[in-house]
Structure 1
């Protein structure tokens, strides 16, 4: 890819996505068609910079989608219109770095990470503490928190044996990450599920928090027992280091207040203008982040961190652009064929036994994650497959399983970004990480399925 173009992809992506958002309110069919035409070179340019896994996934979706498009006998001029359905997801991902940046500008991450640097006597206590820290940060800054937590632990555990260190880090950070995001409005799996099932985010929220709490408590109990016998020896001894619980508690309280305000604005805007959840969150993130920076008097720091972070993240969105645009073409073409009905048959056949359907969803996620299919792609297909069943099964039950099943794969997907990042940071085999976390993934999915079943 041309170096100049690679450095300015953020301009290309932003112009097209801004056009899409503006046209959501304008409702112009010619503009919508132009956006569809622009999506094709957008996909081709991104394909050049995407990783091998996403190129393969994108190629499969485009190839199969093309076959179904031709089979359906659709006219050639309509092709651009079949690439636009996932544009809201790309717009959502484009503005997400600004929310991460305001948390960093307010130095919330530094204060909360002090919890992991304070002295503890054994790894059992450190497990709970590092899990809580990762959980708190992931709720607000998503993937960035995983990297930060792992860096701190690698530094603090430098003197520990590699086998223990690898096991500890790959379990405590990935598991906390997975359970923290199941109720976060900034998590794309949650946003996709809310829009796919048509159930309000606020209706999901208490059940998602309950699921998150149950799984987290079980993991803390297991982790503290598993590592209690291993004494902790910090790489650098700090005899005077103490935690300031009042300051850290106040930082967490301010984050909770900010998130509550954010949710209220998102829900109010969505209800007032009849917008879907993904678009509502996308529209609120940027102005909310700026207002928050003003209130904290951190505007200069926010702009410095935010602009650099946003440019970097947007310039490296090729994987998601390839995945979402090819998925849009595949899903739209699939809807025009009788093949969707064939895929739906096993689920429709089990409509008399809803528990089997919920277990099928969980099993599909795990199977797809093992062969490298991103959970976003899986949820995109499952959302289409499950539509006819909402008349006989509570869509909230399906939604609970769609969310928890997708996020459980964050701990075991050997080709997923979270496991790959952990593998690179700790220099261990990704399949070893998968093996260690598989019982947790089954537990997480099982609790989500149980709650979903009880909601039937």
Structure 2
């Protein structure tokens, strides 16, 4: 998928480059605009590693193994667990939580367990990343719209909280009639709730300190958000590991994780470099104006524009286009509208539209990973989560519309 997209971006980008009459020797300079994103992805595994070295993931996952007698209660707990962990360790949390649920639901019918896992984990994943400073879609949006992350934070957190609450209550009611019998005898396990709450509090305290540090560094050195997060992650992770007295564990886990993740970044290298070349070349031609016309034509109807952004994400995800590629084109098209429409509204829909696809993108990383972890058809996962994705996007559009 990434190879096909990269080839398309390079071929079209080269055509635009030649059309604009630019010298061939300057081509490398037109591939550098997305380098900060690659740097961001390169250091991100260290934040994941410090959480794992502190064993926060294992302690919080114990929530799912105690005093549960029906799937309704388990849904709320598994969603909450996935939500907390995904805020810090992203895809690693998704895989880890799905494996725990798969083991615990081994006695259930496969159709029920598949539906339960694909709904509870993917939905929580999409909601947790809506406000996470370590989510690349959020970082791209902050820099593209020129709006401070702190401006987005309360609105995106409110958005996340509202949908998480509604989905938990609805799904609890739906799954409640189904009794739960853990394959490992989960209902008899004793877990100290106080210890788990302490772990959650420590994570939230660390996240607050991280956000304060990122904002302070960005403001003091006048850096964009992506670069600020990139520069802060490594020293913050090392400092956190030292404070927890988990230095050796952190280094062992971090070095191994970093090597694996960095050596498997080729997909994003192909995507980001080709996307940068395409976007930079497009900006040198008048064709950008033609792409902007549908959006500019509806400039007097902001709601139509917000819906158009949302549906663009959904359509592109259905044909295998990664949301980062979609947002890469949209952020080149939308700037003229910032003077007519509140950029906060556009930014909210850019974030919610992209993350909604995490639950339904048949060829996307999250759906594919869930399909592999649970041995189920990815199209079935898409079908099960489509109502949620549409609701997710609709609430994002509504919130953006109310902030116009």
Normalising by the residue count of structure 2, what TM-score does the alignment of the two structures yield?
0.99
- After TM superposition, the structure 1 = structure 2 runs for residues 265-344 of structure 1, keeping only pairs within 5 Å, are 265-344=213-292
For 2:167 and 2:214, locate their aligned partners in 1 and report how far apart those are by CA, in whole Å.
32
1:117 and 2:65 equivalent?
yes
- Per-residue CA shift, 1:89-144, capped at 9, x if unaligned? 00000000000000000010011000112241110110001000000000111110
Matched, 1:263 2:211: yes
Contact 2:87 2:132 in 1 (8 A): yes
Tell me whether 1:88 sits opposite 2:42 in the alignment.
no
State the secondary structure of the residue aligned to 1:366. helix
After TM superposition, list the pairs within 5 Å mapping 1:15-414 onto structure 2.
Answer: 53-238=1-186, 240-414=188-362
Give the whole-Å Cα distance in 2 for the aligned partners of 1:121 and 1:446. Answer: 34
Task: Write the deviation string for residues 27-60 of structure 1: whole angstroms up to 9, x where unpaired.
Answer: xxxxxxxxxxxxxxxxxxxxxxxxxx11000000
When the two chains are superposed, the root-mean-square deviation of aligned CA atoms in Å is: 0.7
> Which residue does 1:430 correspond to in 2?
378
Contact 2:123 2:359 in 1 (8 A): yes
Bigger relative CO (Cα 8 Å, ≥ 6 apart): 2
Aligned to 1:49: none
SS at match of 1:393: coil
* Structure 2 CA distance for aligned equivalents of residues 260 and 267 of structure 1: 11
1:451 CA drift (Å): 0.8
Deviation at 1:78, TM superposition (A): 0.9
CA offset digits 1:150-192 (Å, max 9, x no partner): 0000000001000000000000000000000000000000000
1:232 is paired with a residue whose SS is coil
C-alpha distance in structure 2 between counterparts of 1:426 and 1:440, whole Å:
20
| Cα distance in 2 between the residues matched to 1:266 and 1:282 | 9
State the Cα distance separating 1:77 from its structure 2 match. 1.2
Cα distance in structure 2, aligned partners of 1:243 and 1:124: 20
What is the CA–CA distance in structure 1 between the aligned matches of 2:166 and 2:188, rounded to whole Å? 33
Which runs of 5 or more structure 2 residues have no equivalent in the other structure?
Answer: none
Give the distance between the partners of 2:341 and 2:191, measured in 1 at CA.
49
- 1:238 & 1:428 partners in 2: Cα distance? 25
Secondary structure of residue in 1 paired with 2:30: helix
Structure 1 segments of 4 or more deviating over 6 A? none
- TM-score relative to the length of structure 1: 0.88
In the alignment, the residues of structure 2 paired with residue 418 and residue 426 of structure 1 have an alpha-carbon distance, to the nearest angstrom, of 12
Distance 1:198 1:278 in 2: 12
Q: C-alpha distance in 2, partners of 1:238/1:332?
A: 55
